[in-house]
């Protein structure tokens, strides 16, 4: 049976027995996602948690049974809690495992975020290649590219994840996460200094307000002036 969407997972598998979903919404500007945690891509959920830290939103899909049918395609990752986090975020970082290869692959339609993370990883002595996934730099079909400023997918070699989290110390795993976090900090600083990007973000956010809400806010300000 080939499973490609969350709908298929819900129909054919049991939450709590075959898989679990962990969500933490902090209100931070970025959302970190491990779509293939647990038995699908061991330790990817731990790396995602370390990258998120305490300040960023976190979404983890964790497979509890060794069944490849639980592998949701990033092109069909539609799930209410994930969609909610993404819609409230400026950008998304997706963490997955790379079965073959020895170098991290990075790609996504947020070129600034991708460049910042790539530079930080390289500064930490890690090899990074551009992702060769079809359309990853432009297609909003990828869940991490959908909202606002888009996002980045980091495909980390399974062997590296196993070395850092399965065989190494917790500190070793955090060293990779800290490099990614350094890139995220650089991105946030740069994006906020980009006036055009800031104005575009402001327009997107205010477009979500209803006319009634905007009119109500205007009346409140007018009344406030009249009472002084």
pLDDT in tens, 149-196: 999 999 999 999 999 998 766 677 788 999 999 999 999 999 988 765
Pair 44, 153: CB distance under 8 Å: no
DSSP state of 166: I
Structure tokens at 203: 């327009």
Contacts of 75 (CB under 8 A, 6+ apart): 4, 139, 141, 142, 143
For the segment 124-138, the average pLDDT, to the nearest whole number, is 95
Q: Is 95 helix (H, G, I), strand (E, B) or coil?
A: strand
Short-list 169, 199, 182, 159, CA closest to 93? 182
Query: Which pLDDT does position 222 carry in this prediction?
Result: 46
118's enclosing H/E stretch is helix 111-123
Dihedral over alpha carbons 88, 184, 152, 35 (to 10 degrees): -70
* Count of CA atoms in the C-beta half-sphere (13 A) of 166: 13
Pair 136, 153: CB distance under 8 Å: yes
Convert the pLDDT of each residue in 79-93 to its tens digit. 999 999 999 999 999
For the segment 27-48, the average pLDDT, to the nearest whole number, is 97
Structure tokens at 85: 């986090």
The mean pLDDT value of the chain amounts to: 88
Burial of 132 (0-12, 13-18, 19+ CB in 10 A): exposed
Residue 113 has pLDDT above 60, yes or no: yes
Pairing of strands 151-157, 104-107: antiparallel
pTM: 0.84
DSSP state of 15: B
Neighbours of 32 (CB within 10 A): 30
Pair 74, 44: CB distance under 8 Å: no
Contacts of 149 (CB under 8 A, 6+ apart): 90, 91, 110, 113, 191, 197, 201
Pair 31, 92: CB distance under 8 Å: yes
Whole-angstrom Cα distance, residue 177 to residue 33?
13
């Amino acid at each position: 049976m080939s499973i490609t969407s969350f709908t298929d997972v819900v129909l054919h598998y049991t939450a709590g027995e075959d898989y679990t979903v962990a969500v933490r919404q902090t209100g931070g500007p970025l959302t970190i996602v491990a779509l293939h945690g647990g038995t699908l891509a061991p330790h990817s959920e731990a790396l995602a948690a370390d990258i998120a830290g305490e300040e960023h939103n976190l979404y983890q899909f964790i497979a509890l049974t060794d069944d490849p049918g639980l592998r949701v395609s990033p092109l069909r990752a539609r799930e209410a809690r994930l969609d909610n986090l993404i819609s409230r975020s400026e950008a998304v970082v997706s963490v997955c495992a790379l079965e073959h290869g020895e170098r991290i692959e990075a790609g996504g339609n947020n070129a600034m975020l991708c460049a910042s993370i790539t530079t930080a990883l390289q500064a930490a002595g890690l090899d990074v290649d551009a992702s060769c996934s079809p359309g990853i730099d432009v297609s909003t079909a990828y869940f991490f590219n959908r909202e606002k400023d888009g996002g980045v997918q980091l495909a980390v070699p399974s062997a590296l994840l196993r070395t850092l989290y399965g065989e190494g110390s917790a500190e070793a795993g955090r060293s990779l996460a800290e490099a990614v976090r350094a890139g995220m900090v650089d991105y946030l600083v740069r994006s906020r200094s980009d006036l055009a990007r800031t104005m575009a973000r402001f327009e997107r956010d205010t477009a979500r307000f209803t006319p009634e809400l905007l009119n109500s806010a205007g009346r409140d300000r007018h009344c406030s002036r009249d009472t002084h």
